[in-house]
Amino acid sequence: MADSFGPMRDEDADGGVVGVGSDVGPDAGSSRKEPIRVLVVDDHALFRRGLEIVLAAEEDIQVVGEAGDGAEAVDKAADLLPDIILMDVRMPKRGGIEACTSIKEVAPSAKIIMLTISDEEADLYDAIKAGATGYLLKEISTDEVATAIRAVADGQSQISPSMASKLLTEFKSMIQRTDERRLVPAPRLTDRELEVLKLVATGMNNRDIAKELFISENTVKNHVRNILEKLQLHSRMEAVVYAMREKILEIR
C-alpha cells in the first residue's frame, strides 16, 4: 500500500510492532461479524484524512468519526462509542494522555492506541498508566496501522519495538530504586496467579500459558482477569509494570 500521508512509510526499519498478548479475548486474527469502529484523533487535519483514506481500503474497519484535540475526542467517544480510538499524544486544548482517563469513563469499552511521533519514555509510561492499550510511532508502515487495530480489537496490546525496549529499561530502573517505599501493601496474589503473571511478563499469550501450565485456556483467562481486578488495572501491560514496580517479579 503506497504512502498516503505524513511520516508513515511502507518500510519498517524496526521490524514490526510488538504484541503483548490477549487480555481475556480471542487471539488476533479471529473473525468478526461487525466492522471495527474507529475514532481518529489528531490535531493535523491532513493526517486524519490520510488515516481515513488508508483505513477505508480495509473491509473490516470503519472510521466512524474524527476529532482535532483531546477535549473533542472525549465528546466524540461518548457519542459514538467506538471500538478503537487512534489518538495523538500532544494536541492543543487537551492532550491525548489526559483525554485517556476521561474517555475510559464515558466509553469504557473503547480501546485506545496512541499514534504519535513522541518517543519519550515519560509519554509512553503515562499513556499506559492512563489506560492506553497500544503505543505506536507514526513511522510505522501504513499496512501495520490496520494490523494493529485488529490486534487490539482482539484483546492484544501493541507497542512499537523501539518503545518496547525503553519500557523494559524503565521496568528495570523502577525495581532497582532502593529508596522507593510502598505506601500500600501489594494485593496478595495466589501462587498460580503469580505463575501466570510471570508468563504474561515474557509475552506469552493465553494459549501458550495454558500449555505451559497444563490448564485450560479459559482458566488462564480467569486468572488474568482476577490479577487485573486485584491490582485494579486495565491491561496485561499495566499488570507487568505494576509487578515490576512492586518487586512481585524480578528482571535480571
Query: Domain check: are 141 and 200 in the same one?
Result: no
Query: Domain check: are 31 and 153 in the same one?
Result: yes
The pLDDT value recorded for residue 22 is: 45
Domain with 144 in it = 18-161
Tens of pLDDT along the chain (252 residues) come to 434 344 443 334 345 665 655 443 444 444 557 899 999 999 999 999 999 999 999 999 999 999 999 999 999 999 999 999 999 999 988 889 999 989 999 999 999 999 888 877 778 888 888 888 888 888 888 788 999 999 899 888 878 766 766 666 665 565 554 444 444 555 678 889 988 988 887 777 888 899 999 999 999 999 999 998 888 888 877 877 777 776 666 544
Last residue of a domain, one of 103, 131, 161: 161
Q: What angle do CA 234, 240, 245 make, to 5 degrees?
A: 110
The pLDDT value recorded for residue 175 is: 53
The pLDDT value recorded for residue 126 is: 85
Number of domains in the chain: 2
Query: Domain check: are 154 and 213 in the same one?
Result: no
Query: Domain check: are 110 and 188 in the same one?
Result: no
Last residue of a domain, one of 161, 194, 220: 161
CATH number for the domain harbouring residue 209: 1.10.10.10
CATH number for the domain harbouring residue 35: 3.40.50.2300
Residue 226 lies in a domain: yes
Query: Domain check: are 204 and 113 in the same one?
Result: no
The pLDDT value recorded for residue 237 is: 78
